[in-house]
A = this chain, B = another copy of it.
């Protein structure tokens, strides 16, 4: 401290308080423009309403030093489900759409698939029959097409596919079928010193290929389901092999387990959209001090989809009851969001704003 203070005075010989103001003024250069301008709205795609108000209030209260609700920067852990929370999960999970496309791409090398379910049905475009085998059929399709190669080979396949595949309804890249209001929320939290994580039932190696570019969330902050992976030394060097065996399913009661294993701290902010997120929200809620638990409720059949209690994909039933009972924030896509997706042609929000130094995060 003596050294630091001496240097501080050495720069301008002004009183400490005046210098502090200058530091803050300069620091404002690193703030996202929307926040730095003060009068501007960091959440422009959110309608005025209770959901938006709850978010803004929570962030304001937890970042004001010297108050009981202040959360130190290191503890500002925010977790987000991915499918249905950050991007569209209808008509099928994107990673399953990827598996279906891979079956078609790989079919010439697998003549036996023409007579074997669920592959036969996929090749004939008969999704209903393909899914008749339930979870076992889904697992077989994903494992057959997304394992048995090195991690580098898999990442390349995902990267190539995600760059060209298009959402069947919106006719744009899947990475453009992300929710603009949630992109703003991620940026808003980060600008206030929150560290944002994905905690998804999706495969972690499927997501990490594009989450940094699309959400500004780096690979080391993506938690997901895993397959068993094996280190192997080859003549040309070491590889990691993805084996056709599930290691961990990061869904439902698995989410708090994965949060504990990967992050090692209890989140203070959690957002999901389905019963698969219920335990993550319960785990977040059970900590002490201020907490934020949010659910995206798909209520907009015109602009996206309307589904909840009886949906096969992203069912929201028990978690909705618990949210209502406990006062968690339920976001109505129809009422709370001005826009759903980013402008067409924009692949995603760019995340070039440097992270805010923790000392300035309040």
Please state if B11 and A74 are interface contacts (CB–CB under 8 Å).
no
Q: Does A257 contact B (CB under 8 A)?
A: yes
Q: Does A25 contact B (CB under 8 A)?
A: yes
Q: Does A240 contact B (CB under 8 A)?
A: yes
Q: Mark A235-247, 1 if CB is under 8 A from B, else 0.
A: 0011010000000
Q: Does A342 contact B (CB under 8 A)?
A: no
Q: Does A165 contact B (CB under 8 A)?
A: no
Contact partners of A264 in chain B: CB under 8 A: 204-205, 208, 219-220, 222
Please state if A359 and B220 are interface contacts (CB–CB under 8 Å).
no
Q: Determine how many copies of this chain the complex contains.
A: 2
Nearest B residue (CB) for A1: B33
Residues 204 to 247 of chain A near chain B (Cβ within 8 Å): 204-205, 208, 212, 218-222, 226, 229-231, 233, 237-238, 240
Q: Which of B222, B286, B354, B356 contacts A237 (CB 8 A)?
A: B286
Q: Does A309 contact B (CB under 8 A)?
A: no
Given contacts A30-B357, A358-B354, is CB(A229)–CB(B260) below 8 Å? yes
Q: Which of B3, B11, B238, B260 contacts A26 (CB 8 A)?
A: B11
Instruction: Tell me the A residues contacting B by CB distance below 8 Å.
Output: 3-4, 7-8, 11, 22-23, 25-26, 28-30, 33, 36-37, 74, 77, 151, 195, 197, 204-205, 208, 212, 218-222, 226, 229-231, 233, 237-238, 240, 253-254, 256-257, 260-265, 279, 282-283, 286, 354-359
Subset of 8 A-B contacts with CB under 8 Å: A4-B33, A151-B260, A219-B263, A220-B220, A220-B265, A229-B260, A231-B257, A231-B279
